Homo-oligomer: A and B are copies of this chain.
Amino acid sequence: MDCPSPSQPNWLEILRRAEPDRVVWIRERDLQEELLQEYREALHAICGSLAGECSLAGGEPLKTWEQIERLLMHFRNWGVTRTSVVVTTGGGALSDAVGFAAAIWKRGVRLIHIPTTPLAAVDAAWGGKTGINWGGSKNQLGTFAPPLIVHVDARWMRTLPSREFHAGLAEVAKHALLDKTAFAACSDNLPPWPPSAQGHLAWTQFLKQSAQVKQNVVQEDPEERGVRCILNLGHTVAHAIEAFTASSTEPWLHGEAVAVGLHFALFEMSQLALSERPREAQAEVQAARMVQWLHEYVPVPNIWPFGAHDLWAHMVHDKKNVANEVRDVAWRGVGEVVWPVHWKKDSFEATWNAFVRSWNNAHSDDSN
């Protein structure tokens, strides 16, 4: 367990101060036994015995109403009250689904999230968005239910498949594009993954720093009525890629789709007329650095089975649209974004096709 800084109590102290009548623990399957034992002992030291615990298969299949009702039955059997605390340990789908169940149980039970993926550690577990899929649409039902704390410990991630670990770092790149401190952190050398016993501390710190960007934005706009929209940078395209490939034999991971969405946003900036680029030189340098960082840390599939037309067909159904316009976030430099920009079908398809040509050129150069 990492040491708390004197100014910020650690998660166990926050759990203790919450004075829960009961603590329950819901985890993803197949976590590391040694870490589980360490955390179980820590929980017991705070709250005596747990009122209930279970482990579940994570991932999107968890995000259905049927699964929510299973969780609610657990809550009932364990006697969970509004004074209880639910601790989750898992990826983003688990914190989304368990978060939703806790948010609607007796009008809201408090949560502590312990993310086990980089995606959850810097993004999904923060900010209180909970949700399940419904009627064929992703995250159609949900609430805003901010957890008491998100406890980041990179050791949970050691056993993740390398592809999943690296895909999650796309959200780190997004935060770097939104915040100067996070951008600077991306130039530091990171220990190789999976890290040594000591290396995990550097990764934990790195992920926590990235998560701070999300916290800052969410604090300013907890219910996404304004500035929080900038967190959708790269995600309009990403959601379309995910939706298109979801039912294919090679579904893309969320982070991979976000990486391509970010590459596309950086490309879109580079295409602007000079008159629209007040800080052009700096933004070009920043963009080049993040393109390189993304290539190093977030590899994406070689085969792109979708065209501009396919993506557009999904983009017009995005939840953030108002009255059938496709709204997106544009990038103009680190910490400088424009929201909303409105895509029309023709301009999107032309820009996407130019992006793909540029991407293919760069990658055929690579292989020469």
Contacts and interface: CB of A to CB of B under 8 A. Distances in A.
Given A104-B143, A106-B141, 6 more contacts: A22-B323, A65-B65, A103-B143, A106-B140, A108-B143, A108-B144
* From A76, A82, A104, residue with most partner B Cβ within 10 Å: A104
A133 interface: no
A321 interface: yes
Given A321-B81, A322-B21, A135 B104 contact: no
Stoichiometry (number of copies): 2
Chain A, interface SS category: loop
Contacts of A76: 135
A40 to B, nearest CB: 22
Interface string A115-139: 0000000000000011100110001
Interface string A67-107: 00000110010000111000000000000000000011111
Given A72-B135, A73-B135, A135-B72, A143 B319 contact: no
Contact of A21 (B106, B224, B323): B323
A143 B81 contact: no
A129 B141 contact: no
Interface of A: 21-22, 65, 72-73, 76, 81-83, 103-108, 129-131, 134-135, 139-144, 223-224, 319-323
Nearest to A225: B82
Contacts of A103: 143
Given A76-B135, A135-B76, A223 B322 contact: no
Given A21-B322, A21-B323, A319-B81, A142 B107 contact: yes
A144 B107 contact: yes
A104 B104 contact: yes
A131 B108 CA distance: 11
A182 to B, nearest CB: 25
Contact of A104 (B107, B141, B321, B322): B141
Contacts of A135: 72-73, 76
A72 B322 contact: no
Contacts of A322: 21, 81, 83
A3 to B, nearest CB: 30
Nearest to A321: B81
